[in-house]
Structure 1
Amino acid sequence: MIYTYDGSFFGYLSAVFDGWHDGLAQIEDICPREGEGSLFGETRFVPTDNGKAQRILDALLEKCGPKTCHYLYYAFLSDAAGTGLPLLQYLRLAFYYKKEFLYHLSDEPIWTVRQWARRTGNERHKLLGLARFQELSDGLLYCRLRPTCCVVPVMAPHFVRRFPAERWVIHDAGRHFGVYYDTEEAVLVTIPQVLPQPQLSGEEKAIEKAWRDYYRTIAIPARRNEALRRSYMPKKYWPSLIEMK
């Protein structure tokens, strides 16, 4: 049986809950509804059930501690190929080892999930420093990114603390969704694939021009080191950086 879900973390946990209830031996895969399901296997779509997902998280937190939940969530956000079964095996081992779980890195599913989680954490750390907000004509602060991992949801709490009195949105252009903050609450929103060019405020245009001029002025051609720059500012992020446009 191939269990499919809506692509969300709680959707995945809902599919795990149903698969566990039906019998782990008959689970062939757990993947998003738009994923790589087999053409020949029986498929069952599991709707998201927050109650089922919360039961798994509460049990995991109680038996294994918060770090185990953290690694599970960050590994899910890595968007690596074929995460469904390794994450399930990670959960099975977590409930087996309980409080000793984090010491069993020699188990392949545990090590693999930790590496996926590290990838997500590293990209989140990089983008917290590279994210650029632009002020639009209506005062909204807009940040457009195209990350490899699905890090926008775990970046949002940092900017809620940093800009508590501002309206802003962080747009994941590759996944067509974002986090919108209205000075009170941060929510996930769907963003159309085709958007009109954002209308920047007059002050934003002046600031961007001044920043690009400053960036070019302080550069020392004789000390240009492209390899070092790419190590701190990976080239895949350049389209989102004002100074690189």
Structure 2
Amino acid sequence: MCVIIYDGTWEGWLTLVFEMFEFKVSVTAIYRNEQPLQQDIFVPWKRVTTDKSKAQRVWKGLQLRIPKYAQENLFCAFLSELPQIEATLCSAVCFYFSTVEEGHLAFGRNDVLTIHQTAKMVNRERHRMKAFTRFKKQKNGLYFAVIEPDFNVLPLINEHFMRRYADQRWLIYDTKRDYGIYYDLNLVSEVKLTNETVLLDDMVQLEEDEILYADLWQQYFKSTNIKERKNVRLHVQHVPKRYWKYLTEKSI
């Protein structure tokens, strides 16, 4: 039994799984990047170094054991960043690699059910980010959007926006996790602002037409709102308040 520390990446977690089997260790807890502040002196800890070849071997093995949607559920659950979700994933993967067939459907197990339920929450957030992401055109021609999702969904929405805005340079920045995805008309890559405050202030310099379009959109939203049929409860249900500060139509 041991406590595992890894770098917090998907490949790092797959490497962790490989070493669990290689060294035949039982994991009591998993931490990202840093050693836990309070640690049981009777339980040793191990730091896992990401190895792409090991990660690939584990992923190929999973592809043979479970269908594609179950593979995607694993990845979505990992992106939830919930406390100790990695340990739950490890428990489920060990079960998948056992002799049990269709282990991903064993919802009587707590780990399998948790992955299924967590993946649904992450996918719901992914769809909301597709709908609630608002770009603003900057003077340099870059379309810039700020989001703050509950889960780390940027890896799940990059292809959607690359297809939808294939002829525009854009940047979507997750302020909660301090990184973004940038499309340069060819590829999507991860970026991190070296000086977030300065760069964000610079990017707020909107193109003059963008200010006009934002005003028109706000006026349209306001004029189509029928006060007599206003249902705040239903509206908040579909558009939770935590997203409002990044919606152009709400900046009225």
Q: Indicate the TM-score class for this superposition, using the shorter chain for normalisation.
A: over 0.9
Match of 1:235 in 2: 241
Structure 1: runs of 5 or more not aligned: none
Match of 1:30 in 2: 30
CA pair 230-51 structure 1, distance change in 2 beyond 3 A: same
Residue 37 of structure 1 deviates from its aligned partner by 6.0
Residue 36 of structure 1 deviates from its aligned partner by 4.9
Match of 2:11 in 1: 10
Residue 85 of structure 1 deviates from its aligned partner by 1.2
Match of 1:161 in 2: 163
Cα deviation code 1:19-55 (max 9, x no counterpart): 3212233x22222114756433433322222111111
Cα deviation code 1:78-123 (max 9, x no counterpart): 1111112111011011112564223211111100111111110011
Residue 238 of structure 1 deviates from its aligned partner by 0.7
TM-score after normalising by structure 2: 0.91
CA pair 222-174 structure 1, distance change in 2 beyond 3 A: same
1:37-186 alignment, distance < 5 Å: 38-40=38-40, 41-97=43-99, 99-186=101-188
Give, in whole Å, the separation in 2 of the partners of 1:29 and 1:182: 40
- Partner of 2:190, secondary structure, is strand
Q: Which amino acid aligns with 2:216?
A: A
Give yes or no for contact 1:3–1:43 (8 Å, CA) kept in 2: yes
Match of 2:219 in 1: 213
- Partner of 1:158, secondary structure, is helix
Give, in whole Å, the separation in 1 of the partners of 2:35 and 2:167: 39
Give, in whole Å, the separation in 2 of the partners of 1:74 and 1:42: 30
Q: Which amino acid aligns with 1:134?
A: K
CA pair 224-36 structure 1, distance change in 2 beyond 3 A: farther
Give, in whole Å, the separation in 1 of the partners of 2:107 and 2:183: 38
- Partner of 2:97, secondary structure, is helix
Cα deviation code 1:198-231 (max 9, x no counterpart): 2111111111111111111111222211111111
Give yes or no for contact 2:3–2:28 (8 Å, CA) kept in 1: yes
Q: Percent identity?
A: 28
- Partner of 2:146, secondary structure, is strand
Give, in whole Å, the separation in 2 of the partners of 1:138 and 1:98: 56
Give yes or no for contact 1:15–1:30 (8 Å, CA) kept in 2: no
CA pair 196-188 structure 1, distance change in 2 beyond 3 A: closer
Give yes or no for contact 2:105–2:112 (8 Å, CA) kept in 1: no
Q: Which amino acid aligns with 2:237?
A: S
Matched, 1:196 2:229: no
Structure 2: runs of 5 or more not aligned: none
The alignment of Structure 1 onto Structure 2 pairs a total of residues equal to 244
Q: Which amino acid aligns with 2:98?
A: Y
Give yes or no for contact 2:122–2:151 (8 Å, CA) kept in 1: yes
Give, in whole Å, the separation in 2 of the partners of 1:72 and 1:135: 36
CA pair 181-33 structure 1, distance change in 2 beyond 3 A: same
